[in-house]
Amino acid sequence: MTDTPLRIGIIGGTGLGDALGAEAGETRELDTPFGKPSSPITLTQWHGVEIAILQRHGPGHVFNPTHVPYRANIHALKSLGVTHVLASGATGSLQEHIQPGQLVIADQVIDRTHRRAKTFYEHAAVHVEFSEPFCPVMRQWLLAAAKRLDSDVKVHDGGTYVCMEGPAFSTKAESHMHRQMGGDLIGMTCMPEAKLAREAELAYALIAMPTDYDCWRPHTSDQPVQALLEEIMGNLKRATTANISLMKAALSDVTLLSQQPSPAHDALKLAIWSDKSKLDPAEVERLSVLWGRYFEQAEVG
């Protein structure tokens, strides 16, 4: 992977390209062995950096977290030559010190989803190493960029993201349980996205955008529901503005990503436990975008 040209896939919401100020590019409509991705992918540049922008929930936010086509999204990005994935998403905060409107560069995840396809390799034994679910090189890159931001943009170094199934939010009992489990953030989209990126040998990092304190922290006022919702939307707007600033700062210097390979780029090297000669050649070919380089000299079928 060290000789592969750098291309950063950005997974976020509608209008992200315009917010970044990305140059005019081309839009690709793709199909994959796992269906169509959730949106067309825009191939463009930001100050010379090749980027590919994908809307996780689709145009108009039509996919709820359970039904996002995660496998199609990651496969499509891989097929377009993406080497690194920079994802972002709204979350709740499970800790007092992580305030709504701030940012968190997550470093751990607890997967509590149960209705989602979590692997590309359903007809082979493939076991990727996942103790560190977020790329340490990308985390270092983002944290270095955070130091170049205005002092009023608070970026937390590390946090455990609890990924729940949804689409309903937590009960109070669940919210307290997530805190007791060691969670710092609660969201619905990190998994299986991060795991699939690892299976595709893509470096992956996540910028979490807390919008509220979930429901574990009692409200201290008698605000009506509408006012609370407006407060949450205001926090999301502040976090989104900070997120765009962080992305711009990071993309302005990708030297670290160019010079230091991610451990994820060789994630399949020791992960394919199946005897390659026993695998169905049609399945090997179907997933060639993901694992093809490990079968170039192997006798299959």
Q: Was 91 annotated as part of a binding site?
A: no
The label of the residue with tokens 């090997």 reads 284
For residue 157, indicate whether it is catalytic. no
Q: Was 70 annotated as part of a binding site?
A: no
Q: Quick one: three-class SS letters along the chain?
A: CCCCCCCEEEEECCCHHHHHCCCCCEEECCCECCECCCCCEEEEEECCEEEEEEECCCCCCCCCHHHCCHHHHHHHHHHCCCCEEEEEEEEEECCCCCCCCCEEECCEEEEECCCCCCCCCCCCCECCCCCCCCCHHHHHHHHHHHCCCCCCCCEEECCEEEEECCCCCCCHHHHHHHHHCCCCEEECCCCCHHHHHHHCCCEEEEEEEEEECCCCCCCCCCCCHHHHHHHHHHHHHHHHHHHHHHHHHHHCCCHHHHHCCCHHHHCCCCCECCCHHHCCHHHHHHCHHHHHHHCCCCCCC
Q: Was 188 annotated as part of a binding site?
A: yes
Nearest of 282, 265, 260, 209 to residue 239 by alpha carbon: 209
Q: Was 150 annotated as part of a binding site?
A: no
The catalytic residue among 107, 111, 184, 212 is: 212
The catalytic residue among 214, 222, 266, 275 is: 214
Q: Was 32 annotated as part of a binding site?
A: no
For residue 150, indicate whether it is catalytic. no
> Please, how many CA atoms are within 13 Å of residue 152, restricted to the half-sphere of its CB?
3
Catalytic residues: 212, 214
Binding-site residue set: 14, 56-57, 188-189, 212-214
